[in-house]
Structure 1
Amino acid sequence: MAKPDGDSFDYVIVGSGAAGSVLANRLSADPGATVCVLEAGPPDRNPFIHIPAGFIKTLANPAVTWQFKTEAIPMTGGRRISTTQGRTLGGSSSVNGMIYNRGQPTDLDSWAQRGNRGWGYADCLPYYRRGENRIGLSDDSRGRTDGAIPVTDMDWINQVSEAFIQGCEGIGIPRTRDYNSGDQAGVGYYQRTIHKGRRISAAVAFLKPAMARPNLSVRTNARASRILFEGKRAIGIEYLAGPGAPPRRVMARKEVILSAGTVNTARLLQVSGVGPAALLASLGVPVVHELRGVGANFRDHYASRFVMRAKPGVQTLNQLARGVSLGGQIARWATGRPSILATTPSHVHVFWKSFEGLDQPDLQCVFTPGSYAEGKVYVLDDYPGVTAGAWQHRPESTGWVRARSANVFEDPEINPNYLSDPMDIRVHLGGMRLLRRMLGTPELAQYLEAETLPGPKVQSDDELLDFAKKNGSTTYHLIGTARMGPETDPSAVVDDRLRVHGMQGLRVIDASIMPSMTSANTYATTLMIAERGADFIKGVEAA
């Protein structure tokens, strides 16, 4: 039997990531409401979390991440691909690439067209703006100075990155003023959630300020193991402090809110008896409510990356991150000057089209003036190099997340089904050919020497696809396993107020509710979803 903690709250939130941190802040702002946040990981005290370049140290660190892997499938060359997610205060916002990217207005308009009332771009724009503090060039589409998340421009500029942008302009891709203003197409430097040399995670921006409030309790190292129900009403959460630890309970007087992320939210629903009946039977879990969409509709961006060796003497990250040069960069960072320690992994964005004639971009490409040793996790090459990658904005391929057992210490089955749809293959090949065009411009020729990956011998569609299968990887943009949709949609899990269909007192508020992929990294839209969700709970709408 679970040991009760002897307390209860109005709201119990599972997960302290992007969504959970926002919700904790907004709900606890009402002094008459009590809120408890359960975080499976530790506090965010690891110093590498807060130094932007420290993602190299945290992404493979199981102390602060879920080290999930996909299933081995033919379209990934039989490889299992790491789909790491954050497991600390701030969740993935404490380990991600710090890119702030909203996507295209049509992404959200398509959600509304699927029957989700009030989810068009115009409806959601106030919620993007609410939590954002756009520092620098701005207009009415951007956030206010009192927003919690600072969004800044790149301040460390490399000559090779600038040459890449100029080369893109030379082949007809315009330089963008602000890709987050609603007009995405073009090339330029990424906007980041970095301020004064520090990563500003959702925990730093939203959760930590709220933790001073007496009506908010945050419990770390508390892994949710089961949703507690009375009939079809959620009344609390059972959680564990570690394998073999006695279960504890925290009760919710009003609502249980799942913000555990696309993988963990789906798994928690399943092991609690909400999901496809056949799967629950295989787990030995009694059915509380059958919802066949739980764990389905899983999507991710699948990327292929090209690497080029730079000419001797060309300055790239590979040299600056070593020896005396690294010492100089550390000194610059410590004194508040632009430094490689305060940059994002990807420096330059390109939002463009896989084929002529499209009315909007269907590709996102990235460029970094650095390259990683083949087969090694974020280990820079010992010679100068650059990397460019591409992925399809809105993949059609869908997969699933399925619990393997009722034990939440056993990783679930994760299968994104990358490149299983013929359209995805077509767009991916178009993206790879675009990478070659962008890396082959006269503007870059003075800096680059030779393509090392995949290499000049890889030319045909079949050869490029084989390379993508054997070398492509995740972008960690996991969505869709508790998709939002009307009750008439048998695959929908939550309604347009993010309430779980057929249940009471239970909502899902995180990236798992996205009906389809945005043309973007998922962080900005997850923050927006949480801002909306908080208003739904409080029964108000943004002005």
Structure 2
Amino acid sequence: MAPSAESEEPVPAHPDVIVIGAGGSGAALAARLSEDPDRTVLVLESGPVPQQLSAFPAELLDARLVPGARPGHPAVQRYPAHLTPDRPYTVVRGRFLGGSTTVNGGYFVRARREDFDRWSAAGGTAWSYEGALPFLRALETDLDLGADELHGSEGPVRIRRTDLRHPAADAFRAAALQLGFPSEPDKNAQQPPGFGPVPSNAVDGVRLNTGISYLLPVLDRPNLTVRGGSTVQRIVIEHGRATGVIVERAERDGHPRIDGRDGRDGHREILRCGEVVLCAGALRSPQLLHLSGIGPRDELARLGIPVVRDAPAVGVSFGDHPQIALEWTPRPPLPHPEPPADSWLGGALHLPSSDGTHPDGDLEILQSLAPLRALTDGTPNLPDEPLAPLAFLVSVQSPVLGGRMRTCSPDPAVPPRLDYNYLRTPEDRRRMREAVRTTAALLATPAFKTLSDGLVDPGPEVLHDDRSLDTWIHTHLGTSHHTCATIPMGPAVDPYGKVHGIDALRVADTSILPTPPLRGPAATAVLIAEIIAQAMG
């Protein structure tokens, strides 16, 4: 990885706000809060913080790649997990300016009206679709549609929809229509679920993460300091109020920096502030609350952590979405299947599962125009394999909280235990079978048969037998990396992220959603920051 070109800015002695994390939510929140010149804001990011676009490693900008798919990539934090009791897995989160928006696929799709209805039941009108729409418009510059009643043209996040001219994308569109699925040309407009291009924060081939979009343009603000290599260990809480954080600093080579200056305890530093906002993500934020004494009393006592606030709903459950990669074999006359110049993504089909529980669509079939091995190897094409298999990423995006998490140690370096509990119920398994079989049906249409020899796997004998298909799915199971709801609105925080029972402490990331959205949460992470920034005045 290229040098980060970070600067060593002096840290304000007592900032008004410390934001923990410069990811999808933290970058946006800090930029909005620092618009007030009378408010000092300090952002603490555990990963590198480049000071200009040219200092970003090329693979983190290349929208034809998915850095988080590369095993061992230095810009991710890895968490061991179990997707099912006997399916171990490693989930990843971004550890770099921009957080997971730096290493994900660039998918930037709004939540559905059905999601907002659930969230507003817990958080009030601010979380209704009508309440959120002004913020959704304000955060974006829609390069395709411009400003109208649904879209914005002056926001930090530039949005462009994927190009469907690639032969495989065109075949996907035609196949969806042949099977009777509707067209959904604007997936950010609450149209009925169907086939359409994917709104993305990748523009002209560059992945514009939230750090680039929100923070890089305003780093010269005198009231804003963004410091990388700073891992928060614990929040300092005194007399029921958050008064600062304990942070570990790292040198550029990743080793702790130890100096004996006043206010430091070895390589750890206490930073005081007026208010703390956790934007460390749906895995790290609840862990930090636990380490700070906020969580289920019995669990904290088991770890020997003094209980500051008995909070039974903090860091115990979560929601995410199971995913399967289904590869298919191209054949001539498909030209060399390089991805388009701007993105690895093709089209997406959203549809409701057959039980009709979620009419806004709880199944997603997302097209990759790059071979999976190209994504995991970090190369935009495979010149030695001119007809390498392409893939659909097939997921069940139900808004359920089946996951369980548990902090395992008072040591911040020890990751929490994560049990996703995927495919636990007959309905879970039925929905995933339905998504896989719909993908196979798309490939069997006349539109796709001109380009494809069909699925690499599973074969027909597995595909048409429920028990065999369940077994195959289990052995190929992955996750969408859409973790939400670990510090939910209502039982854990108020509608604007204030932690119940603790003054001057908020959470502003996807932890606070009562349920995960029916579509990927990247855009919602930014929305959360926008809503809470306005609430903070």
Fold match (TM-score > 0.5): yes
The equivalent position to 1:435 in structure 2, one of 422, 435, 439, is: 439
Partner of 2:403: 399
Separation in structure 2 between the aligned mates of residue 371 and residue 477 of structure 1, nearest angstrom:
22
- Cα deviation digits, residues 488-531 of structure 1 (max 9, x gap): xxxx2111121001110000000111101111110111111100
User: Hey, what's the Cα distance between the residues in 1 that align with 2:138 and 2:466?
Assistant: 45
Contact kept? 2:201, 2:209, Cα under 8 Å: yes
CA contact (8 A) 2:41 2:223 kept: yes
Q: Name the SS for the 2:424 alignment partner.
A: coil
Correspondence 1:311 to 2:331 = yes
Equivalents in 2 of 1:349, 1:528: separation in Å? Answer: 22
- Of 53, 59, 63, the residue aligned with 1:52 is 63
Name the stretch that deviates more: 23-32 or 277-286: 277-286
Q: TM-score, normalised by structure 1?
A: 0.88
Q: Give the aligned partner of residue 483 of structure 2.
A: 478
Q: Distance in 2 between matches of 1:52 and 1:446?
A: 28
Aligned counterpart, 1:340: 340
Amino acid at match of 1:497: Y
Match of 2:319 in 1: 299
- 1:152, 1:191 within 8 Å by CA — same for their partners in 2? yes
Q: Are positions 1:15 and 2:14 aligned together?
A: no
The offset of 1:46, in angstroms, is 1.9
Pair 1:536 & 2:535 matched: yes
Unaligned runs of 5+ in 1: 321-338, 486-491, 539-543
> Residue 366 of structure 1 aligns with which residue?
366
Structure 1 residues 199 and 371, CA gap change in structure 2 (3 angstroms)? closer
Deviates more, 1:492-501 or 1:356-365: 356-365
* 2:61 and 2:208 in contact (8 A); partners too: yes
Does structure 2 retain, via aligned residues, the 8 Å contact 1:103–1:184? Answer: no
The residue identity in structure 1 corresponding to 2:469 is L
For 2:280, which of 239, 260, 281 is the aligned residue?
A: 260
- The whole-number CA distance in structure 2 between the counterparts of 1:153 and 1:403 is 39
Contact 1:49–1:58 (8 Å) recurs in 2: no
The answer to whether the Cα contact below 8 Å between 1:395 and 1:424 also exists between their aligned partners in 2 is no
Amino acid at match of 1:292: P
1:132-155 deviations in Å (ceiling 9; x for gaps): 000112563433221111101224
**Percent of residue pairs identical:** 28
Q: Whole-Å Cα distance in 2 between the matches of residues 410 and 431 of structure 1?
A: 36
Counterparts of residues 142-541 of structure 1 (less than 5 Å): 142-155=150-163, 157-242=165-250, 245=257, 246-253=267-274, 255-315=275-335, 317=337, 320=338, 340-344=340-344, 346-355=345-354, 359-373=359-373, 382=385, 383-458=387-462, 459-485=464-490, 492-538=491-537
Provide the aligned length of Structure 1 versus Structure 2. 504
Give the whole-Å Cα distance in 2 for the aligned partners of 1:58 and 1:371.
12
**Scaled by the length of structure 2, what TM-score is found?**
0.89
Compared with structure 1, are the counterparts of its residues 528 and 397 closer, same or farther at alpha carbon in structure 2 (3 Å cutoff)?
closer
What SS does the corresponding residue of 2:88 show, helix, strand or coil? coil
**Contact 2:11–2:225 (CA under 8 A) maintained in structure 1:** no
Structure 2 counterpart of 1:336: none
Query: Cα distance, 1:35 vs. partner?
Result: 0.3
In structure 1, C-alpha distance between the alignment counterparts of 2:518 and 2:503, rounded to whole Å = 33
How far apart are residue 315 of structure 1 and its match?
Answer: 2.6
Q: Is the 8 A contact 1:363 1:392 kept in 2?
A: yes
Asked if the contact 1:297–1:483 (Cα under 8 Å) also holds between the matched residues in 2, the reply is no
Question: Residue type of the partner of 1:302?
Answer: P
**Alignment-derived partner of residue 323 in structure 1:** none
Letter in 2 for 1:386: L
The code of the aligned residue for 1:372 comes to L
CA change 1:456–1:51 in 2 (3 A) is same
TM-superposed deviation, 1:457: 2.5
Contact 1:400 1:481 (8 Å CA) reproduced: no
Shift of 1:221: 0.5
Counterparts in 2 of 1:363 and 1:6: CA distance versus 1, 3 Å: closer
2:152 and 2:133 map into 1 onto residues whose CA distance is 13
Moved more, 53-62 or 300-309: 53-62
SS in 2 for 1:468: helix
Q: Is the 8 A contact 2:185 2:197 kept in 1?
A: no
On the 8 A contact 1:307/1:453 being kept in 2, the answer is yes
Match of 2:4 in 1: none
Unaligned stretches of 5+ residues in structure 2: 1-9, 51-55, 258-266
Larger deviation: 423-432 or 376-385? 376-385
Q: Is the 8 A contact 1:58 1:65 kept in 2?
A: no
CA 1:457/1:395 → structure 2, altered by over 3 Å: closer, same or farther? farther
Q: What secondary structure, in the 3-state scheme, does the structure 1 residue paired with 2:299 have?
A: helix
Q: Which amino acid aligns with 1:36?
A: L
Within 2, Cα distance between the matches of 1:414 and 1:184? Answer: 34
Contact map agreement 1:370 1:386 (CA 8 A) in 2: yes
For residues 57 and 294 of structure 1, do their structure 2 counterparts lie closer, same or farther at Cα, with a shift above 3 Å needed? Answer: closer
> Match of 2:80, SS?
coil
Deviations 1:230-286 (A, max 9, x none): 121000110102476511121112x10000000000110011110111221222110
- Inter-partner Cα distance in structure 1 for 2:18 and 2:191: 38
Change (3 A) 1:184 1:15: farther
Amino acid aligned to 1:480: A
Match among 111, 121, 124 for residue 103 of structure 1: 111
Q: CA deviation at 1:450?
A: 3.3
SS of the residue corresponding to residue 246 of structure 2 reads strand
Amino acid paired to 1:212: D
